[in-house]
Structure 1
Amino acid sequence: MNKILTVTALFCGLVLSASAQQNFKYQAALPKVDSTGFYRITLQPAFVAKAKADLSDVRIVDAKGNFIPYIQAGSLPQRNQKSFVLFNQIDARLSTDTGTTFIVENKTGLALDRLWIKLQNTAVQRKVNLVGSDDLKQWFAIQEEIPLQEAVVNSEGTYMQSLSFPASNYRYFKLLVNDKNKAPIKFLQAGIYTEYAATLNYAPISPVQLTRVDSNKTSYITLKLNDNYQVNKLHLNITAPKYFKRDVSVYQVIGRDKQLLSEAELNSAKGTDLLIAAKSNQLIIQINNGDNLPLTISSIDAYQSAESLISYLDDKQSYRLLTGDQSVQAPEYDLKFFADSIRDNTPQINHETVSQNAAYQTKQPAKAGRDYTVFIWIAIVVAAGLLLFLTLKMTKEVKKKAEE
């Protein structure tokens, strides 16, 4: 009887695992690791382009089809508490805000790709939207639906969590929690570790196609990419004039809509980098020239801020990355509670070329109207029915022997 249960459970597990994997459109193989341990997996722009904006559909899977736990590298705790810079809290709640709001001021002027928040211990599940502003009036989206962790068991009554997001240099950051008529959670403070903020890394995106129109004291530059890349920095290579100071707006194009991402300044004395948080294949840069001649721009370089996962990998296993399932939510792994076990010098590996997930191609044939999901569930029902039949038969035989 135990063997029957084991075989049936294994069969159902394999079927469900295969069913889960078929929903991910893309994959990228990971190289075999030299020894078992924690590894930092760098996500290249070509892979991130296929994922959801918050990377919630990224999975690591082994050769047996099991999902492997990971945490985003930005969630690692910092050991040097002296480098922590506390941000001032701002009381500027708008009438349009709903739920819990928490606003802090970034006086450092540094570009940030993570924010550490301190909360009162809580065991509830909430999600937060992060927006940024330079004037406390006009707010721009940075990241949505960021899950807040539950408190780790401790005796302090408070805990810290890291929020990772595309690099942004807004002066103000606002956390918006949709409490849905539930009791609010309590934010205590927020800040950054300066050694992280000062050493942001970027990966180049290519190719970038440019078209330009100069009219009515304004320059419009359109950037076209060959995929929906995550773009966090634009570097404008300006060759003339020698001195300039121009207001600039950056938009992303999604379908027929044009969304304002950032309003900034191009200044010859401060550099020509524009920090944004975009997920698109088309961007528009609008430069206000006033009475000046248009800027001479030889090229524009696009970059994605560094994205990486940390996972415990076995040297006897082979692994793949999966992504491209818009229906899934961010996974919740126990590994987040053991982040202190991860060393600062974790070895880094890069995934291989992104390709179509073979399992997805098999389960999604080109012929319209064909859906194999029903056959999977039929197999599960048959297995469950077989188990029920064997169980009833076994019970009947046991009862018969007892009566004898």
Structure 2
Amino acid sequence: MKFGSTVRGSSKLTAGLLLAAFLFVGPLRALTPNEWRFSQAIDVPANGLIRVNLPAETLDVARPDLGDVRILDSAGREVPFLIDRPMPRRESALRSQELRTALEPAATQITLTTGTKSLLKGVTFETPPGSEFIKAVRVEGSHDSATWLQLASDKPIFRMAGGAANPSVSFPEGIWEFLRLTIDDSRTAAVPFTGVLLQV
């Protein structure tokens, strides 16, 4: 979490000014700084809008909504500030540009041309309704479809009769022009995968 304090130009505000961020717990009423349980100094290098990352110690003692954080200037006046809460990254999925499937004696191999420069962090297998399976998957990535780097190995995917399912495999985030997915069919019959979604 971050907050910025807007400090407007004043003859009393200089480059070396220290602002005290006082934290207190309890009802919001007028308290003098001596009554506040926690305080921290913020070094303000210049006048104007600044951005400050709150340290973990501050977040530990502040309310979750940071409603008890106050900033005072050197004269004891409260200074306005804005709390910037980054939104969590939304999960999304893409379809690959091209999908090729090859059945081998003991494996199904799916090669994807991703068609994206987005960071990829996993794949989700699509199957016909009613499919039941437990499989192990190896994922490899490539930039030229000639040299492959293993991204994940022996990752389980499954869909069970009772509704339990895990059709996804995650791997370290990266940009890959090609992905090769090898599904182990050595123990059970091959599954007719109908598609693969790219997790970004």
Normalising by structure 2, we get a TM-score of 0.46
Q: Which has the higher strand share?
A: 2
Normalising by structure 1, we get a TM-score of 0.24
Q: Larger radius of gyration, structure 1 or 2?
A: 2
- State the structure with bigger RCO (CA 8 A, min sep 6), 1 or 2: 1
